[in-house]
Amino acid sequence: MKKFTPTLLVLFTLIGVLVGLYISNNKQQTILITTAGANKVDELMQLMRYNYVDSLSIEDVIEEAMPKILNELDPHSKYIPAAELEATNADLASSFSGIGIRFTIQEDTVNVSDVIRGGPSEEVGLMAGDCIVKVNDTLFVGDICTEENAMKRLKGPKGSKVKLSVKRYGEKDLLHFNIVRGDIPLESIEAAYLINDKWGYIQVERFAEQTFTEFIIAVAKLLQKDCKGLIVDLRGNGGGYMSVALQMANEFLNKGDMIVYTEGVNSPRNIDYANGRGNLQDIPLVLLTDEISASASEILAGTIQDNDRGTIIGRRTFGKGLVQQPFEFKDGSAVRLTVARYYTPSGRSIQKPYTKGDDEDYALDIVKRYERGEFFSQDSIHQNDSLVYKTSIGRTVYGGGGIMPDIFVPSDSTRYTPYLNDVLRKRLISMFIFKYCKEHRGDLYKFKTYQEVVDYMKNSDAVEQFIRFAKEKGIELPAEQAAQSRAMLVEPLNANIIYNILGMLEHVKYINLTDETVLKAIEVLENGKAFPSVTEENSSEGKE
């Protein structure tokens, strides 16, 4: 049995008060809980403050105990200290204030990996490949150069100024840039294009404030090019705002179709229905999912599957189906408290099982899926036969957490060797590509499409250069893996160069050429099977 400190018991009472204030419909009961809890808390705090053997800060004790309290509830109820709240909320904002770059820390130096188009850094001429060595005339290299410190120095209020001194490959002296910080857009859809002049592909990275607007604009552009069907890629999308998922689902569903419902012990059932005003109700649709697709991604995938509106392709989703409500405290901190669960239209709970108080086991679930072989074989996934549900046309789907795709596509382990796994794990490819792009800036930065980069790389010795680079870093290519590894290095080297030089769109176009999940989606659309039928129930195709 777990032991609790007196402070933990106090904070359990505080959390109870918090829940009571939010969800109780009985005002008398709320007042009773609040009053009794407050008296007991005050009394215990007084005892601790004036009688404890050592000096202590009650405030510090509470700050330390709050996360532990919420950990005893479920994996997604979280305490957010005041100092972290702004950054946490910024993750789903549509913009932030800064200089407009993406960067990595390499060899104790800030290396600019990408300059955001239309941002302040592009305006003054900062370029990918530049190394920032001074910030406001102060040296910023070595041990002090961490990602956290870099963010503190580079981000700032809109209109504020920062001076950067950078080392640029081929330039003898440092270059100096005075940058006025501005609003930097955070796009959640960076890749949307027409595949083979027929099918539209849209990669949705997260469900943020402006995601629905970005989605509608992307779809409109594709329809102008005579798009006949859509592939919406939710792989790697950990979720975001539920309201955005509802808006997106509404575009595809008929009037009265259920999208999702939420319910909890103290939270009455709330059902969301499509209003029938969506503009994409008849277009063939395929959604791509994987084990990282979570929350809002699962709401969209679940409603499309249960309404038999499209085909889900890929791997089983994460299984995050708990609804959090934010509560802010006077000191600027906040609690995100779980108040309900998400359910798909057929009645499936999206949430996977968890043990209260065991965050580590919950966090390692994906690792366990990998070890069980779920990423590679459909047979390794055991459906819960006691949790059987039916879609709108009577297809069988299973509960137990996450959304199982209609067509399973395994992760392709044949594309890796032990050598390639080693260099990827140590991030040697990205380190090498950053150096390679700087050294070949004159040639590479003339290119506009991924095909131009691919053609250029065919005549380069980048693979051999990389093998020498990896050897210098302590990883030597074994003779028995040499031929296979050399062939397999071509694609990741090309993909990283394309991303560094041309950005996300051309990068995605290139990797999708050989992406088995995307190729399966194209096949489904070509065969006219994007709308599931009861005769195709549980096809769950895949490669063994």
Contact criterion met (CB below 8 Å) for 203 and 183: no
What is the reported pLDDT for 313? 97
- Answer yes or no: are the C-beta atoms of 241 and 208 closer than 8 Å: yes
User: Encoding tokens for residue 371?
Assistant: 């070890």
Summarize the confidence of residues 137-144 as an average pLDDT: 88
Task: Give the pLDDT score at 380.
Answer: 66
Using alpha carbons only, what angle is made at residue 410 by residues 404 and 414, rounded to the nearest 5 degrees?
170
Predicted confidence (pLDDT) at residue 97 exceeds the cutoff of 90? no
For the cut 70, the answer to whether the pLDDT of residue 446 exceeds it is yes
Q: Which pLDDT score is estimated for 136?
A: 92
pLDDT tens digits, residue range 15-51?
433 333 333 333 333 333 344 455 776 788 788 888 8
More confident residue, 135 or 10: 135
- Does the structure show a pLDDT above 90 at 372? no
- The full DSSP string for 390-417 is E-TT--EEE-SSS---SEE----GGG--
Least confident of 197-211, 302-316, 424-438: 424-438
Coil, strand or helix: which one is 464?
A: helix
Tens-place pLDDT, residues 155-197: 888 889 999 999 887 788 899 999 999 887 778 999 999 998 8
pLDDT number for residue 146: 87
Helix (H, G, I), strand (E, B) or coil at 492: helix
Neighbours of 324 (CB within 10 A): 17
In the predicted structure, residue 358 carries a pLDDT above the cut 90? no
The pLDDT of residue 90 is 61
Give the global pTM.
0.82
pLDDT digits (tens, 9 = 90+) for 259-315: 999 999 989 999 999 999 999 999 999 999 999 999 999 999 999 999 999 999 999
The DSSP bridge partners found for residue 342 are 262
Residue 9 pLDDT level (bands cut at 50, 70, 90): very low
Which of 79-93, 181-195, 500-514 ranks highest by mean pLDDT? 500-514
Q: Which of 61-70, 174-183, 341-350, 387-396 has the lowest mean pLDDT?
A: 61-70
C-beta of residue 320 within 8 angstroms of C-beta of residue 330: no
pLDDT reported for residue 89: 65
As a whole number, mean pLDDT of residues 422-444 equals: 87
pLDDT, tens only, 452-497 = 999 999 999 999 999 999 999 999 999 999 999 999 999 999 999 9
Tell me how far apart the alpha carbons of residues 204 and 186 are, in angstroms, rounded to a whole number. Answer: 12
Q: Which domains does the chain have, with CATH numbers?
A: 6-72 (no CATH), 95-185 (2.30.42.10), 191-405 (3.90.226.10), 414-517 (no CATH)
